[in-house]
Amino acid sequence: MKYITIEETRAALKAGEVTSVELVKEIKETFEADKNSAIPLNAFLEIYDDVEAMAEAVDKEIADAKASGNLDKLYEEKPLLGLPFAVKDNISVKGKRLTCASKILEGYVAPYNATVIARLEKAGAIPVGRCNQDEFAMGSSTEYSCYGATRNPINREYVSGGSSGGPAAAVSANQALFALGTETGGSVRLPASYCGIYGLKPTYGVLSRWGVVAYGSSLDQVGLFGHTPGDISEALNVLNGEDFYDDTSANLPEAEQLKKLEAYSDADIAKLKVAIPKQFLESKGLLPEVGTVFEDTKKWLESKGAKIDVVDLPVLDASIASYYVIALSEAASNLSRFDGIRYGRRVDTGDGYDELYIHTRSEGFGPEVKRRIIIGNYVLSEQFSGDTYKKGMTVRAKIQAEMAKLFESYDIVICPTCPTPAFKLGQKVDDPLEMYLSDLFTTFVNLARIPSINIPAGNAGSKYDNMPVGIQFAGAAFSEVKLLKLAAAWEKEHPGCGVPLK
């Protein structure tokens, strides 16, 4: 695709320099070429068969509006008209396959649109295709997929991150303008960091979860990938807000500022009070090369006059343990619905419902999903649930309270998104504990239900093949506008960081 940002592409569509049909055709051609290459990226699982027809309808709508002199009015009503976007394989698109990258949902077709899809389509955007992920969003590398791993477009020997590795790779490789992913413990920010793009995890509830297959319901959140903070801002503008079908949904204050995002000035940044958690700086898993990039980001903020303090938050040491107790318990409960009876894969031996259930789940689920179900059920078992799960929830409440208290004195928390850059394919796939520790710096955000954005901040140097390093800005609940404005100020002075490979 020639145009890499929403603003540029929309301007080209309005000027007649490109058509929506040309945009989706280029994506289809890229997909086919990549699928048949020696080392496929495997970001898209499929391009939807009706995208050209949808694009043709958009082009006619644009032509009619031009002829009647109503083009600007049309784009006021449909700000994303004609823009193609990618969709993670656990978000429902009506009439399209939805498998969560799992054999157990092989052949399943979504009967309705997720709210986030309906809102994007109402704004004129075109869902162009379904992207790969870790099975049921359980993983940090997109290697746990029944469709095979998604590779990193920066260097295809490396993972793209997970669990939203497919949509992140699609945006990074310039195969999509923007993309929808999901987060439970870092699954948008982590692949954004690995692939060198921007990735936003909003405040819990800002984006509706209706139509998104559940993993850990109290933690799950739809997130956004883009080449710039402006791309994310434009999509968030049409997506945010209360939804009748999701009781946890909420309106985003100051959402009108998302329509045309204005970067913070130096004077704005000088007013910020920034906190750095001591626990993350002292982490044994933090690579020095990542620490160097973080130090450079810190110096950039200091050069603008921001006041930065290192703060002690001992409860963060328990965040990853608390996260996995809660997430795996909720996953075990949520995934009990995949039983071979209601929908999806069915392995019937004729020996009764117990055998049907056992064989369907044994053949349908992959090893990582089975591992998490077993651990979750163990935590929820009668002899442990009163202690372990309750303790996990108590720690979570403590993290929420401590972070809320912190934001009474500070505007922003900054820290690395991940202790390391992307690792090579196969390096951690057989070491679950090492894989889980990829989420070391991200899970506190999900537990506290606050927003955070990954910014592409540099690379890890030649020792790690110059793979990208991401830094995250986190803020108080509903502070998305503040985070995006700060990220836009960063992008303004570091314009190459979020630009994908040509």
Residue 29, C-beta contacts closer than 8 angstroms, at least 6 positions apart: none
Structure tokens at 107: 């052949």
DSSP lists the bridge partners of residue 239 as none
CA distance 99 to 108: 6
Tell me the helices (H) and strands (E) count for the chain, helix number first: 19, 11
Residue 231, C-beta contacts closer than 8 angstroms, at least 6 positions apart: 5, 6, 177, 178, 198
Helical (H) or strand (E) element with 84: strand 84-88
Exposed, middle or buried: residue 138 (CB in 10 Å: 0-12, 13-18, 19+)? buried
CA distance 490 to 110: 39
Structure tokens at 222: 């739809």
- Could you say which DSSP state residue 409 is in? T
- Could you say which DSSP state residue 480 is in? H
Helical (H) or strand (E) element with 218: none
Active site positions, annotated: 88, 163, 187
DSSP lists the bridge partners of residue 225 as 179, 199
Query: Are 91 and 211 a contacting pair, CB within 8 Å?
Result: yes
CA distance 227 to 502: 13
Q: Which amino acid is at 119?
A: R
The SS3 call for residue 264 is: coil
DSSP-assigned letters across all residues of 323-356: HHHHHHHHHHHHGGG-SSSSSS-----SS-HHHH
Q: How far apart are the two ends of the chain, measured CA to CA in Å?
A: 9
Residue 427, C-beta contacts closer than 8 angstroms, at least 6 positions apart: 159
